[in-house]
Amino acid sequence: MSDLCAPVFAANWKMCHGPAETGAFMERFVARYPPCDDATVVVFPPAISLPAFAVAAADRPDLQFGVQDVHTEVAGAHTGAISAAMVPATGATWGLAGHSERRREFGDKDADVALKLRRLLEAGLRPVLCVGETIEEREAGQLATVIERQIHGALSSIGAAGRTRLVYAYEPVWAIGTGRTASPEDAAEGHAIVREQLAAAGAGDSARAVILYGGSVKPANIGQLLAAPGVDGVLVGGASLDPDSWAAICAAGR
């Protein structure tokens, strides 16, 4: 991942910030976060706000953005869906796949995630594969088993060249939007397992893979999380919705 500057700070706005709110957010954020060449900053706005983000970030090439989800098909009769092939026209260069909310609310299976990764790669986008366990799975001692299944399932149809383009996000489901944050030790454990499974899946040099931590990240704990072994950055939800909070998190990499 020599083309990425670590740490990587990624913001997942989920179903928040329409076009007008995106413009207002960016006006405040860029005033508080000057151009940076020693970190990678990526924002995943709602699809309807991708063009607004592109306009707001036109003078800030250091700020990248991507789509939160795409359909498994390239085109067709899929009302309300977005094809990965449509995304590059907005200027976006990234895409999420496998987020726990997509798996839980929309029923995305590992096979669906694998196909979405393929579509993102075919469109020239950089995918972020999200993996992580529920509290029930963790308490049952299934952390490694769950990550193994998710990684091997998602990479099953991705060739060697495509795998070198992927970024990974370890997101313990029990720490997403709950206020309950995994400790730095929890994060390090999860990231170590992700690297082990990447090596087992033949995903290239797993030591060089970029793995983000996600789950109730905030300015108060960003320093500890970035200091945890194997953590190359963060994927932030709620704390990225406020421009001051997001600027403070991104500044932690400086």
Active site residue 148: no
Radius of gyration of the chain (CA): 17
The enclosing H or E element of 178 equals none
Listed in sequence order, the DSSP H helices in the chain are 19-32, 50-56, 100-106, 110-122, 135-139, 143-155, 160-163, 184-200, 222-227, 243-251
CA distance 120 to 114: 10
Dist CA 33 CA 31 (whole Å)? 6
Of the residues 133, 171, 189, 191, only one is catalytic, namely 171
CA 185 to chain centre: 21
Query: CA-CA distance, 13 to 26, in Å (whole number)?
Result: 13
Peptide bond into 7 cis (omega under 30): yes
Q: What is the DSSP letter of 253?
A: T
**Phi/psi of residue 77, nearest 5 degrees:** -85, 80
For residue 41, the cross-strand partners are 9, 63
Instruction: Identify any residues that bridge with 67 across adjacent strands, giving them in sequence order.
Output: 95
Question: Which residue among 99, 133, 148, 191 is the active-site one?
Answer: 99
> Is there a catalytic annotation at residue 171?
yes
The SS3 assignment for 246 reads helix
Residue 233 CB neighbour total at 10 angstroms: 27
List, by residue number, the catalytic residues: 99, 171
